Structure 1
Amino acid sequence: MKPSIKINEESKWIIEETYFNQEWLGKYESIMCQGNGYMGIRGTTEEPYLGETRNTFVAGTFNKFDENEVTELPNIPDLIQMTIKVNDKALDLSKGEVSQYKRSLNLKTGEIIREFHYHLEDDSELAFRFSRFVSMDQKHVISQKVEITSVKGNNRIGIDSGINGQLTNSGSQHFSEGAKHLFEGKYIQMTSETSQSNISMVETTVHEISNAANLSSRIEMRRRQVFNKYWFEVAQGETAVFEKFSNIHTTRDKEHEGKSVEDIEKHGLEELVAVLASGYDTLLTNSAKAWDKEVWSVAPITITSKDHEDQVAINFAKYHLHVMTPAHDNRMNIGAKGLSGEGYKGHTFWDTEIFMLPYFTYTHPEIAKSLLEFRYLGLEGAHKKASGNNYEGAQFPWEAAWIEDGETTPVWGAADIVTGKATKIWSGFIEQHITSDVVYGVNQYVEATGDKEFLETKGYEIILDTAKFWSSRLEWSEEDSNYQITDVIGPDEYKEHVDNNAFTNYTAKWNIQKAIHIYEELKENNVEKFNELNTKLDLDRVYADWLDRVDKIFIPAPNEDGIIPQDDTYLSKKIIDLVPYKEDEQVGTLFHEYNLEQVNDMQVTKQADVLLLIYLFENLFSKEIKLDNWNYYEPKTMHDSSLSLSTHSALAADLGELDLSYQLFKEAIHIDMGPHMTSSDEGIHAASLGGIWQMIVFGYGGVRVLDGQLRIEPHLPENWDNLVFSIFWHGTELKVTVTKEAFEVEVISGEKEVTFDHKGEQYSVTDKQVIKLI
């Protein structure tokens, strides 16, 4: 049976499942995840199946199951599941005869529709149509509708539906059971509380049934469950409609700060009464309008390509970026799997600043600002990590959860293929480039927006505090008479305990250089702010250290062949033939034959490392150095991380390798949208989706910011005839239209004149500017 993901050729907004296969549940649960940034719900079917993973997450509600586990987003009680019986037999598509099956996600509206005909042994036939969405207009609301048509025969239907709190995070139960209520004989409410963080979840649901004969019902309350059971009949030719409306509120919600649980329960009930009065169709219309206003009408992207999949890919990426991003609350950030699965426990990595933040910085700067404010609010945890490692300043955690949690990386991971023992996860201890990655995100945001208020109230402090860490982290080498950074993991996580990783050393020095500039600027031009930060961070003392050390930091320079050593020993390690592994459809197959210790001694790279450095800091390197390093490192890169392909694709476009760039682009968009049907089981690849936007706008649109100056140098792949995108620059919206022959920059909104660079020449635009490419 071939993979069944289908891109609807008539619409650039629809992805489809064309037949049911129980083995592929995880794929569709992830790629058809629904949400609005406040909550995320996996795209499970309503009726249960063995092998499914039912997850509902509310952003920021982290809990620690016990002392032996790290904090994670808890899988809250499920509202989606319905147990459905037809003529006393459970609806089960893996056993019954099914025809005309189709499930689709409309990316434009966020609605999932699943349709099929179900044939029974007694020659009865029913047509089912399931619809549901998570509201973008009312962030707490979920709406579901089931339409059951009796095509042949008169059929009896039974539905159990309510709130199921018997779910776990892979066995870890995060909730203690709370109160259950039934109001007016139909509104069901259940409250649960997390075991360690003491967050109360109030869930309320109601059902409405129309055109159902001989309807009867009763409520059942079980351990961690409360359901309504319904029985009714559907005559031949008739359609019964079963609707379910639900909402979720928590004591962590900013709008409920200071309220009692009883007040939140009352609010949830009152809201749901109004929701029920509105009805499914009105709620969907309002949600679709919110999607258009907040997402699709803002900085739209249009691709004219010979392959319609390319346009669907950016729509898919933008949809998921907004589903997963808690734009409503600066105490929260984006998980590496968004809100689509238990993978990485909902934790935030460098994925945000390097791969996802650029999308928001250039299209939704207010969301980018909120994501960076999360880092500012997390400085206390960064201080704890630094001091715990005997360093000064702010050392950001490799994995972040709630702002007060500090480091949340698990200590132990998968089994070693050779020893059979659990592998220690060293990232939380020694993958330290995250600290300068955060500063990179801050700097990029400030350069693109000109947001001086953020810089003064938060940005300066982040940059200065992190430079204070790096200065204390440097190690003096008497032998080499320089400062080094030893025993780290760089972006290439196949190289543990290395010394002088190029990416880490370059970005640490850059971080300190930024701090020196800020110190001097503030001392001269903003004495009040300088005195405030000097008192808080002891700047006079650390400034002297920065000046003494910054030019003595060891920076791996290109060797005689132009190759920048990834670390002190990489270029001396053995080289093996990676072609069989790189050609395999699955990632990580190298570890079917080697363990990490063995791979550590090979010239094998997991993802872009030196090449990421060149991509992010391109003005530090000549084109010859870029090409030399591309030719050396790309063949040795496994792309075993979903972060890798987008960097390589955008960099290849910069280097004029457009055919290869497009090939990598297609591989990147297939990480989630492609035919590998287990690639997304644990959740969507969040950073890869941010990378899709970067490949298009940074890669083919040629947008960069170099030393604060906007640059636009487009180059389209052969398959594309036209690319239209928008970005915001210092509050001005620019629309860029690119063809093979020329590109046009148009000011859409804003009154400022915008200056940009194109191939070394300066252009200014207040209305429109057309520049020929050939």
Structure 2
Amino acid sequence: MMDYKLGTGEFEDWIVSETAFSTDYLGKCEAILSLGNGYMGMRSATEEPYIKEQRNLFVNGTFNKAHPNEVTELPNLADVTRIDIRVDGERFSLEFGETANYVRQLNLKTAELSRSFDWTSPKGKKLRFHFKRFVSLANLHLMATKMQVESLTHPVDFSFDSGINAQMNNSGAQHFLEGERRVFDKQLIQLVQTTNESNVDVVINTTHNVKVNGEETMAAPDMDMARRKVWLSYAFTLQPNDRLEVEKVTTVHTSRDLNALEAEYDLQQLRESSLGDLKLHALQGYDSLFQTHKQTWQQNVWDVYKLEIDSDNAFDQLGLRFALYHLTLMTPAHDARMGIGAKGLSGEGYKGHSFWDTEVFILPFFIYSNPAVAKSLLTYRYLGLAGARAKAIENGYSGAMYPWEMAWPTDGEVTPKWGDIDIVTGEQSRIWSGAIEQHISADIAFAIYQYNEVTNDQEFLDQYGYEMVFDTAKFWASRLEWNEEKGRYEIINVIGPDEYKEHVNNNAFTNYMAYFNLKLAIRYYDRLAEENPELLEKLAAPLELAAAYPDWQEKADRLFLPEPRAADRVIPQDDTYLQLEEIDLTKYKNQEKVRTIYRDYNSEQINSFQVTKQADGLILLYLLEQTFLHDDPRISKDVKSASFHYYEPKTLHDSSLSLVTHTILASDIGEYDLAYSLFQKSIEIDLGPAMDTSDEGIHAASIGGLWKAAVFGFAGVRLIDGRLRIDPKLPKTWRSMKFTIQWQGSPVSISITPTLLAIKMEDGEAMVFETNNVVHECTGYTEIPIA
């Protein structure tokens, strides 16, 4: 059903296509072909409705709690994509009649969705349909649709209903109060909806321009309203070769928009101004609006995020372009009050909440490619300090204990408490991550460190970063527990990245990352004391740094850090993992669908086996290598290799985050064929042949990880404690790789072949970097042979 080779000419390796339609597999294309601009995201449901469809329109930051016993989530806004079509008075559906030449495709380069097919009705009348739509990157509030219908053989009575449908929900939960709706001049439709708990106003406007054979129709449509719905109905008789063309232009504004906050907000004023904007957009028409949108994509995305792969397998290039496309769609670059959801804006999965996915898997792309966006995403975490501090107090700790799942910055912890079925008891499974998966506080501290080292953005550290690192360190100092018998501090009863191991003690990832967080706070304190004592004094009183600093020193020095086993250099994932029962995992390693182990065992049973959901200790080795701890023998290359070979066979990759980490590490340790195989499997998480992997939305962290796998894995780019290292390891099928990164304020173009590394400083600045253990300096252009 999916075809990735239909692009030709300038669009070769830019097209994601569906070539056969099935109502059994709607979710995949709705998600992977979704449209958006970071402000809003639209799931790509077809115009005509089907029973199993999922129509979603989300605006970032509009979080709401539908009921007191629910957690906050992004509400599903009114739908503007559905068009109810009738042919000779009968409902049009691809489930009836005969369909030929069907193609639905997303052009990644132009960010336009199109669908075309020839359809023969049950009465034998043949029509040709063509649909197009886009969500504008040039104007964040704008989207447009075009429908073209041509009668090929017979006269046909053709009619359709189109408008705004607010009869939407989130898996049954209704987030909006009944809103006012109106039709102006039998043409302009406006609907207002307000969230029932957070009181966010949403104003949606839409209008249609209808032509027959290129001439605007003067016939007035019928106007209708129903509960939470308003629409127009048009009817025509098309003769053979007649062509109907409908353009629908829509705008979306909310009371949470930055421009609404900057002025004194007034709903009536928003209604009037947004309606005026719609009129101006409608005068321009679909084609003109699309050209502006297309140019913005080229200038703001493709001319900036340059990543070219010459591979025997064109799927590699397409997969990386798919990643860059969705990274643009999912990211609220316009507003630092918002983060990235685990499904982006492509589906209801994970309710729009932000996880550690952002800092560890998505943020690196922006740090190296668009530091301004990276800064915005880290500022979102700074704005969440109030919620992090409240969570710490609720749990009896000090400092900032970041939520495992974060929504609006002040919401605090929003992780649901109950999840899927327990296959043994038949009850709901308890979700423990919101309570005891705590490494995210250290992950955020690492992201601050990585951002600062790559960008040299001292202003960010001064305004936000120091405070965040100090307060997360205070949390860890209060979280550690003293083991009198062993004379050390420990971290007990946690979940590490491997969520198949709950309530474990001394998870290596958590302990080492907490240690890093404490050491980073000490380093930053010492730096401020020497370089900016005035700022240190300003921070000292509210953060109680005079008491915190010696506490960090004492506890960091005595925190237990699991040592690699002497026999094989494997780092223990936690206190008990290496002693757990080993079972035959062949069935689950070869599974076609993730998490099938839960159909055989419950969480308690899985907890007792040597089985891992995703990279845990392995990702620790990759992260700490980039820091001032890189020379620690406990995270050396031999530990990385031994641990990889021990844990990879036990890892089911039941999280989409896992494969990209294993790709990078496999490349690091010389397992090049395995690394490439894992990379291709990472692309296939969303783009593969399986038609049910993306039903709840795309996999945002995996998509961010694809860029990491290519640039950090195969190109060998790595931050090593303030210095850039480039050690290429291209797959055998790649003839070349070209990309641009930002390094400490300078754009750096990198070109790699199997035999040559070429570096170009685009602004003429000097850069010191390391390759193959040799330090080089580049001031303009440098070529280095690859051994």
Q: Aligned partners of 1:6, 1:301: CA distance in 2, in Å? A: 18
- Given that residues 5 and 673 in structure 1 are in contact (C-alpha distance below 8 angstroms), is that contact kept between their aligned partners in structure 2? no
Q: Aligned partners of 1:7, 1:439: CA distance in 2, in Å? A: 42
Q: What is the alpha-carbon root mean square deviation over aligned residues?
A: 1.0
- Secondary structure at the aligned position of 2:104 is classed as strand
Matched, 1:163 2:164: yes
Letter of the 1:718 counterpart: K
Query: What residue number does 1:345 align with?
Result: 351
- Given that residues 140 and 247 in structure 1 are in contact (C-alpha distance below 8 angstroms), is that contact kept between their aligned partners in structure 2? yes
Query: What residue number does 2:685 align with?
Result: 671
Letter of the 2:229 counterpart: Q
Query: What residue number does 2:421 align with?
Result: 415
- Given that residues 96 and 122 in structure 2 are in contact (C-alpha distance below 8 angstroms), is that contact kept between their aligned partners in structure 1? no
Letter of the 1:330 counterpart: A
Following TM superposition, by how much is the alpha carbon of 1:5 offset from its aligned partner in structure 2, in angstroms? Answer: 4.1
Query: What residue number does 1:127 align with?
Result: 128
- Secondary structure at the aligned position of 1:410 is classed as coil
Alignment size in residue pairs: 771
- Given that residues 142 and 251 in structure 2 are in contact (C-alpha distance below 8 angstroms), is that contact kept between their aligned partners in structure 1? yes
Letter of the 1:346 counterpart: G
Matched, 1:740 2:747: no
Per-residue displacement from partner, 1:714-746 (whole Å, max 9, x unpaired)?
Answer: 110111110111100011111111100111011
Query: What residue number does 1:95 align with?
Result: 96
- Secondary structure at the aligned position of 2:409 is classed as coil
Query: What residue number does 1:612 align with?
Result: 619
TM alignment of 1:336-485, pairs within 5 A: 336-485=342-491
Letter of the 1:767 counterpart: G
- Given that residues 25 and 51 in structure 1 are in contact (C-alpha distance below 8 angstroms), is that contact kept between their aligned partners in structure 2? yes
Q: Aligned partners of 1:727, 1:214: CA distance in 2, in Å? A: 54
- Given that residues 214 and 233 in structure 1 are in contact (C-alpha distance below 8 angstroms), is that contact kept between their aligned partners in structure 2? no
Query: What residue number does 1:180 align with?
Result: 181
Per-residue displacement from partner, 1:377-419 (whole Å, max 9, x unpaired)?
Answer: 0000000000000000001000000010000000000110011
- Given that residues 710 and 756 in structure 1 are in contact (C-alpha distance below 8 angstroms), is that contact kept between their aligned partners in structure 2? yes
Per-residue displacement from partner, 1:80-125 (whole Å, max 9, x unpaired)?
Answer: 1110111111110012211111001001111111001110233211
Query: What residue number does 1:755 align with?
Result: 768
Per-residue displacement from partner, 1:415-446 (whole Å, max 9, x unpaired)?
Answer: 10011010010000000000001111111111
Q: Aligned partners of 1:378, 1:96: CA distance in 2, in Å? A: 54
- Secondary structure at the aligned position of 2:410 is classed as coil
- Secondary structure at the aligned position of 2:681 is classed as helix
Following TM superposition, by how much is the alpha carbon of 1:8 offset from its aligned partner in structure 2, in angstroms? Answer: 2.6
Q: Aligned partners of 1:624, 1:120: CA distance in 2, in Å? A: 67
TM alignment of 1:58-207, pairs within 5 A: 58-207=59-208
- Given that residues 650 and 700 in structure 1 are in contact (C-alpha distance below 8 angstroms), is that contact kept between their aligned partners in structure 2? yes
Per-residue displacement from partner, 1:228-273 (whole Å, max 9, x unpaired)?
Answer: 1111122211211011000000000011112211111111111111
Q: Aligned partners of 1:602, 1:267: CA distance in 2, in Å? A: 61
Letter of the 1:633 counterpart: Y
Query: What residue number does 1:250 align with?
Result: 254
Q: Aligned partners of 1:483, 1:624: CA distance in 2, in Å? A: 27
Query: What residue number does 1:717 align with?
Result: 731
Matched, 1:633 2:644: no
Matched, 1:581 2:588: yes
- Given that residues 104 and 114 in structure 1 are in contact (C-alpha distance below 8 angstroms), is that contact kept between their aligned partners in structure 2? yes
- Given that residues 144 and 249 in structure 2 are in contact (C-alpha distance below 8 angstroms), is that contact kept between their aligned partners in structure 1? yes
- Pairing partner for 2:600 from 593, 596, 610: 593
Q: Which moved more, 1:431-440 or 1:229-238?
A: 229-238
- Secondary structure at the aligned position of 1:769 is classed as strand
- Given that residues 7 and 312 in structure 1 are in contact (C-alpha distance below 8 angstroms), is that contact kept between their aligned partners in structure 2? no
Matched, 1:551 2:565: no
Query: What residue number does 2:236 align with?
Result: 232
Following TM superposition, by how much is the alpha carbon of 1:211 offset from its aligned partner in structure 2, in angstroms? Answer: 1.2
Matched, 1:20 2:21: yes
Following TM superposition, by how much is the alpha carbon of 1:518 offset from its aligned partner in structure 2, in angstroms? Answer: 1.1
- Secondary structure at the aligned position of 2:149 is classed as strand
TM-score, reference length from structure 2: 0.97
Per-residue displacement from partner, 1:531-561 (whole Å, max 9, x unpaired)?
Answer: 1110110001011111211110000000122
Q: Aligned partners of 2:477, 2:718: CA distance in 1, in Å? A: 29
Following TM superposition, by how much is the alpha carbon of 1:622 offset from its aligned partner in structure 2, in angstroms? Answer: 2.3
Per-residue displacement from partner, 1:359-391 (whole Å, max 9, x unpaired)?
Answer: 011001100000000000000000000000000
Query: What residue number does 1:652 align with?
Result: 666
Q: Aligned partners of 1:344, 1:150: CA distance in 2, in Å? A: 44
Q: Aligned partners of 1:403, 1:171: CA distance in 2, in Å? A: 25
- Given that residues 5 and 674 in structure 1 are in contact (C-alpha distance below 8 angstroms), is that contact kept between their aligned partners in structure 2? no
Q: Rate the CA distance shift 1:395–1:7 in 2: closer, same or farther, 3 A.
A: farther
Q: Aligned partners of 1:635, 1:171: CA distance in 2, in Å? A: 40
Letter of the 1:759 counterpart: N
Q: Aligned partners of 2:238, 2:113: CA distance in 1, in Å? A: 24
TM alignment of 1:237-316, pairs within 5 A: 237-257=241-261, 258-316=264-322
TM-score, reference length from structure 1: 0.99
Following TM superposition, by how much is the alpha carbon of 1:9 offset from its aligned partner in structure 2, in angstroms? Answer: 5.2
Q: Aligned partners of 1:315, 1:8: CA distance in 2, in Å? A: 15
Query: What residue number does 1:700 align with?
Result: 714
Following TM superposition, by how much is the alpha carbon of 1:484 offset from its aligned partner in structure 2, in angstroms? Answer: 0.2
Q: Aligned partners of 1:244, 1:524: CA distance in 2, in Å? A: 61
Query: What residue number does 1:568 align with?
Result: 575
Per-residue displacement from partner, 1:175-204 (whole Å, max 9, x unpaired)?
Answer: 001211222220000000000000000000
Matched, 1:318 2:324: yes
Letter of the 1:541 counterpart: A
- Secondary structure at the aligned position of 1:497 is classed as coil
Letter of the 1:429 counterpart: A
Letter of the 2:28 counterpart: K
Following TM superposition, by how much is the alpha carbon of 1:584 offset from its aligned partner in structure 2, in angstroms? Answer: 1.6
- Given that residues 215 and 233 in structure 1 are in contact (C-alpha distance below 8 angstroms), is that contact kept between their aligned partners in structure 2? no
Q: Rate the CA distance shift 1:277–1:9 in 2: closer, same or farther, 3 A.
A: closer
Q: Aligned partners of 2:708, 2:429: CA distance in 1, in Å? A: 33
Q: Aligned partners of 2:553, 2:165: CA distance in 1, in Å? A: 60
Q: Aligned partners of 1:154, 1:9: CA distance in 2, in Å? A: 35
Q: Aligned partners of 2:582, 2:655: CA distance in 1, in Å? A: 20
- Percent identity over the alignment is 47
Per-residue displacement from partner, 1:445-491 (whole Å, max 9, x unpaired)?
Answer: 11110000001100111111100100000100001100000000000
Following TM superposition, by how much is the alpha carbon of 1:585 offset from its aligned partner in structure 2, in angstroms? Answer: 1.6
TM alignment of 1:29-40, pairs within 5 A: 29-40=30-41
Query: What residue number does 1:538 align with?
Result: 544
Query: What residue number does 1:41 align with?
Result: 42
- Given that residues 186 and 221 in structure 2 are in contact (C-alpha distance below 8 angstroms), is that contact kept between their aligned partners in structure 1? no
Per-residue displacement from partner, 1:617-637 (whole Å, max 9, x unpaired)?
Answer: 233422221111111011000
Per-residue displacement from partner, 1:12-68 (whole Å, max 9, x unpaired)?
Answer: 110100011111100000001100000000010001000000100000000001110
- Pairing partner for 1:333 from 316, 339, 342: 339
- Secondary structure at the aligned position of 2:759 is classed as strand
Q: Which moved more, 1:623-632 or 1:487-496?
A: 623-632
Per-residue displacement from partner, 1:580-636 (whole Å, max 9, x unpaired)?
Answer: 211122111111211111110001000000111111123342222111111101100
Letter of the 2:225 counterpart: M
Matched, 1:680 2:678: no
- Secondary structure at the aligned position of 1:395 is classed as coil
Q: Aligned partners of 2:124, 2:334: CA distance in 1, in Å? A: 52
Following TM superposition, by how much is the alpha carbon of 1:7 offset from its aligned partner in structure 2, in angstroms? Answer: 3.6
TM alignment of 1:505-544, pairs within 5 A: 505-544=511-550
